[in-house]
Structure formats: C-alpha cells, structure tokens
Amino acid sequence: MLDKVDSWDFDIFMFDRATNGNGLVTLTFHLFLQLGLTRLFRLDPIKLRSFLVMVQADYHQRNPYHNSLHATDVTQAMYCFLRQPKLATTLSSCDMLLALVAAVTHDLDHPGVNQGFLVRTGHHLAALYKNSSVLESHHWRCAVSLLRESGLLDHLPITDRLNLEERLGSLILATDISQQNRYLARFREHLDREDLSMADPSHRHLVLQITMKCADICNPCRVWRLSSQWSSRVTAEFFHQGDVEKKHGMAVSPLCDRLSDSTAHIQAGMHTHTNTQTHKQTNKQTLNSHTLNSHTLNSHTLNSHILFLHKHTSSPPPLPELQCCPPSGFIRHVVEPLFREWCRFSCTSLSHRMLAHLQTNLDRWTDPSQHPETPP
C-alpha cells in the first residue's frame, strides 16, 4: 500500500489493519526514506525506528479520535502537502524534517478531553501551562522528551538541536484551534498584499504552520467514506467527555452531550433532535456554572474514570480538536475558511479537489436524509 502513500484517497483505516496497528511507525519510517531525510541528516535507522515506536506507544489507543491512527493520517496528509509545487520547490530539508516530526508528534499523550475540561477540573497540566494552549504545550514537551530519549538528533550540534526543538514547538502550538484566527489573519494579510515570499525564513515558517493546521483538520476534505469515519470517531470522544462530566455532576461541555448533540450539528451546525434555544441555554449554563477544583476531582480520579468510561460505554457519534470547544458547524466555521486561503496560496488540482470534497461532505451533513440519526 505504501506505493500509494502520496494519494489523497489513501485509506488509512485499511493501512492500519494491514500493519496490525503499527501504521505510524511503518508509514513515517517510509516517508523519512522517501524524502531522503535519513541520509541528509545522517539519522541512525535504529534510533529513528526506536523514536517512532516510542511515539506510537505514547498515544492513547483508547481514545476514539486522538490516537496514533489520527497522527498517522495527519502525517500522510502532511506528505501530500509537502509534494505540492509551492512547497516542494521552496522548503529546505530542515523544514521537511520538522514538518514530519511535528505531524507525527502533534497530539502525543492526548488525554481524550479538551482544555476547558482540564481547566475546570484543576488538572495539573492546566496549572503547569497557565491555562493557555495546555494540550499543545504538553504535546510539544512530550515530543522533545522522546527526541532526547531516543538520541535521534544527538549527533547534531547542540545549538541546532535546540533550534529544531523550538521550531517544532511553534508548529505544534499552531494546531491550537482557539488561535486559528490569529494565524489565518496573518496568512490572509500576506496573500492580500501579495508579498508572501518563500525565500523569507519567517514567511516560510508561517506557511509551515498553516500547512500543519491544514494537515491536522483535513478530515472533512477527504472523500466521504473516510471523512465520515473520522466524524464518528471525534463525536465518540466528545461524548465520552460528556459522560465523565455527567458522572461527576458537572455541567456538560458544549457539543459533548450524547442526548442532545449529533454529528451533523457538530460538523455542519445542523440540529437533528434538539431545540436550538435549549441548546444555547445549556451552553450558557456550561460556561457559567459547575467549576470543580482539584479537591473534588483530582488527576488520578479523572484518569481512572476516563479509562472506565472508555471500557464500559458505547460511543454514538461531535468534533475535532479538544483544545476548547469550537462552534457547532466545524466545517463551515473552522475548516472551510482555512482551506479557502490555502487554495489561494497553493492553487493546485489537490486544493480544488479538497474543496470539492469539503462541499460534498457539508451537503451530506446538511441533508438529514443522508445521515438519519436518532437520540441514543
């Protein structure tokens, strides 16, 4: 299957089954060879494989969405973007190395709940990162830790290693959806002024950040048979969070209630079986009440109950990125604006194809007859 790894229709689910759940190691190792990074950076193949094995193990496979399969999918998408003319002809080998490492590590040790949940429950990670880009900061630090533990880059000068680690952080932090408007505004400004220069290192890095963002949330731009599976997975993960919140008497976070939310509502803003005004009121109550401190629900209790619920609850179908809760209508409000600007930058057949898939998928989520859903 790896001979089709550059295809946008690459079936990551089939690949995962074919590799017996070792898709992240197999695919990423192959891409390092394909791009010549192993040779260019004199990487020890044994250390590279060891690093990738540790990365794969640090993803929580019990998470329906934020697991190693998601990281593998994002890495495959990143490879497709790196092959586009605008990037393939201008990025340095260091840029490509960073892009692949960021893609494969960008959600390391994701707990399967969002930032808002960690803040409300007084989780130690929220305190450590001062309630700002909590998950992304943690993913970055985990990535740096595994790079150092594996010794993959030990042969490089220390200043080069520290620079790589810093730039890696800025790519992973760019995946914070709550910060999307900031990145998108800068990108759009350059496109409007027509002054984006890939010869300028700072401009090139901004493009890498946008590329990382696109790879991370590109699921709605895939063909329906793949895209719909990701939508169901992210919904299941959100509902698990809602189950934990209910169990502890907390207000349920927006989009996390399996009794009132649906995949269509999350993806396209369509309510299939809940009253809009009631849902708005629930969201308002969620934001203004039921804050638990660490004495009520400590990290050990939190983690044990998340694990229990993953083992013992079913998972009906809401939305990606658990940093904060994006608005309902993820495709309309988050994905589409990003990919329309990407198409302005990289106006290729792949970009137009992604937008076409995006519209098709949006139409299907908007039409109730295409996805009959009933309350669980």
Residues designated as active site: 66
b/e map 151-178, b = 16+ CB within 10 Å: ebbeeeeeeebeebbebbbbbbbbbbbb
- Cβ atoms 13, 229 nearer than 8 A: yes
What CA–CA distances, in Å, run from 319 to 241, 263, 360? 12, 7, 18
Return the CA Rg of the chain.
20
Name, in order, each residue with C-beta under 8 angstroms of 323's C-beta and a sequence gap of 6 or more. 114, 115, 133, 134, 135, 136, 176, 177, 178
Determine if residue 267 is labeled as part of a ligand binding site: yes
Determine if residue 241 is labeled as part of a ligand binding site: no
Determine if residue 70 is labeled as part of a ligand binding site: yes
Determine if residue 69 is labeled as part of a ligand binding site: yes
Comparing CA positions, the residue from 351, 335, 352, 274 lying closest to residue 87 is 351
Sole residue written with tokens 């990037």:
87
Comparing CA positions, the residue from 215, 259, 212 lying closest to residue 238 is 259
Determine if residue 288 is labeled as part of a ligand binding site: no
Write out the binding residues for Zn(2+): 70, 106-107, 216
Write out the binding residues for AMP: 66-70, 107, 216, 267
Write out the binding residues: 66-70, 106-107, 216, 267
